[in-house]
Amino acid sequence: MDTKTAREKLASHQKRTSAFLHAIELLNFDGATSAPRGAAPARAETLSTLSGELYAISTSNEVNETLSYLDSVKDELTEEERRIVYLLRKDSKKFAKIPRELFVAYRAQIVRADDVWHKAKEASDYAMFAPELEKVFTMTREISGYIEPDSDPYDCCLHEYEEGLESRTLDVFFDKLRVKISPLLNEISKARRPDNGIRSGFFPVEDQQKLSRRLMNVIGLDPDHVVLSTTEHPFTISLGSHLDERITTHYYENDFASSMYSVIHEGGHALYETGCSDNYVFTVLDGGASMSIHESQSRFYENIIGRSRAFCDLIFPDLQKIFPEQMKGYTSDDLYRSVNRVEPSLIRTEADEVTYCFHIMIRYELEKSLMRGELTVGDLPGEWNRLYREYLGVDVPNDKEGVLQDTHWSGGLIGYFPSYALGNAYGAQFYKKMKSEVDVEKCVLNGNFAPINEWNRNNIWQYGKLYTPAELSRRVFDGEFDPDVYVEYLTEKYSDIYGL
């Protein structure tokens, strides 16, 4: 082989895998948005087959030879090519360790579990879901055993979303958050709770859809490449490349703010993806550095921007226009106080910034124990409810608002939850740096998101997966990851709101 041929093979291999991933992700997206219920078994078959094809391609001798050759001439390659070869080899080696039958059966199981989760959540019936969840965890443990036979099986899950991340590190990280945020939460709970009246009332879906369009426009999403759908659980998905981004939301007619912040959150993910260099389309570099960096962007737009005083001032006139009756007698300050009302609650996606990390810690403890076999799927709801009482002091009235609320485990995303908490912390640190270069508040007040998005694009988005989270963040904030910055951000913001 020569380098020219190997490069061509590399490009065509990536195009080929992109096509399969495009189809696979579209099948998943369609399953959550448009597909009829009775089509789930057929979709499971198709997803199994296509995953099997992708497995065969990724582990083929031809691809391995090409990658090995390119690895042997590393010095001739560009920085991008070296990273591509590294990432593809890593994936190929990982795949090769998992028996194909297991890999394929797992894909089918995820579709089944997700289908049953939808029904079980609707019926608030954990018993219906438990056997499917059991299989998901069993198979994930089995797969982890193949990929990293000598590691903690939960650490292996974490590596899916964050290279090199270990639960030891997370234990320290979450301990720090708990120790530092608990006193703040304690102080807040003694203060007067802001009024929430502005969020109560009736907000018809069609009007909320108008608000969604306005929000997508305000934060600068490109309608040629990003579209919004509705699903049971909001998410973002890239189909084939960052040229095709789908975000979703869920409308509740008794609270406009739920969908509003989902749209901004998922919009943040889509901004990150669409901001990736167009040169990376159909390569493995297309996307985000890791899921924690991804969540740093979504949670940045949702909270640091979207729940800021400036953003409330900016968007309140739109709310008045869209909901004239419902907004009567309220001001943008009411909006600001209401969307920052701190209150231990049941639902993670609706949680305020201060209690949010506790929702994550609960899931972290549970999935870690489940993966290690220290907790059974049968005992999960009880343990969930116990931890909600212990960490947040709330009683879980039913499984729909408890253990069945999130789509992650049914979708096989075990080890994903910590990304949200890490993302919060990364986001605060990026923000600190951004503020030193951009007048963020003024930009938001003027509805001029271009400088903010440009900063993120230049510093983060354009690089896709070129850098590891550690490399990327070091480049951005000239130092190490430091969750204290996040705690400072929370303390400052909420001390002000609550007059602490």
d(CA 420, CA 167): 15
- The least distance separating a copy of itself from the CB of residue 38, rounded to whole angstroms, comes to 3
DSSP 250-309: --BTTBHHHHHHHHHHHHHHHHHHHTS-GGGTTSTT-S-S-HHHHHHHHHIIIIIITTSH
365 assigned to active site:
no
Q: Find the binding residues for a copy of itself in span 265-284 (CB under 8 A).
A: 281-282
Q: Which of 81, 132, 162, 266 is catalytic?
A: 266
Please identify which residue in 99, 131, 183, 223 interacts with a copy of itself, judged by CB under 8 A: 223
Of the pair 38, 499, the CB lying nearest a copy of itself is at: 38
- Quick one: which of 249, 430, 218, 209 has its CA closest to 311? 218
Minimum CB separation of residue 272 from a copy of itself in Å reads 16
- Nearest CA to 121 out of 106, 133, 105 is that of 133
Stretch that binds a copy of itself, among 13-21, 184-192, 294-302, 364-372 (CB under 8 A): 13-21
Q: Is 103 in the site for a copy of itself (CB under 8 A)?
A: no
We find the least distance from the C-beta atom of residue 66 to a copy of itself, in angstroms, to be: 18
Minimum distance from residue 359 beta carbon to a copy of itself (Å):
31
Angle value at C-alpha 345, between 444 and 310, nearest 5 degrees: 10
Between CA 190 and CA 201 the distance in angstroms is: 27
Nearest to a copy of itself of 6, 239 (CB atom): 239
| Min separation Cβ 284 and a copy of itself, Å | 15
Contact call for residue 33 and a copy of itself (CB under 8 A): yes
Task: Tell me how far apart the alpha carbons of residues 422 and 424 are, in angstroms, rounded to a whole number.
Answer: 5
**CA-closest candidate to residue 326, choices 263, 256, 258:** 256
**222 near a copy of itself, rule: CB under 8 A:** yes
Of 107 and 141, nearer to a copy of itself (C-beta) is: 107
Decide whether 230 or 468 has the Cβ nearer to a copy of itself.
230
- Interatomic CA distance for residues 477 and 185, integer angstroms: 28
Name the residue nearer to a copy of itself (CB basis): 15 or 372.
15
Q: What span, in angstroms and rounded, lies between the C-alpha atoms of 131 and 281? A: 39
**482 in helix, strand or coil?**
coil
Whole-number Å distance between alpha carbons of 471 and 175: 25
DSSP 193: P
Q: Which of residues 229-248 bind a copy of itself (CB under 8 A)?
A: 229, 239-241, 243-246
Among residues 87, 96, 102, 227, which is the contact residue for a copy of itself, using CB under 8 A? Answer: 227
Q: Which strands form 245-249's sheet, in the order they lie side by side?
A: 226-230, 245-249, 236-238
State the binding string over 35-64 for a copy of itself (x if CB under 8 A, else -): xxxxx-xxx-xx--xx--x-----------
Query: What DSSP state is assigned to residue 345?
Result: -
C-beta neighbour count of 53 within 10 angstroms: 16
105 forms part of the interface with a copy of itself (CB under 8 A) = no
Q: How far is the CB of 16 from a copy of itself (least distance, A)?
A: 6
Q: Which residues are catalytic?
A: 266
- Give the interface with a copy of itself as residue ranges (CB under 8 A): 15-16, 18-20, 22-23, 26-27, 30, 33-39, 41-43, 45-46, 49-50, 53, 206, 222-227, 229, 239-241, 243-246, 281-282
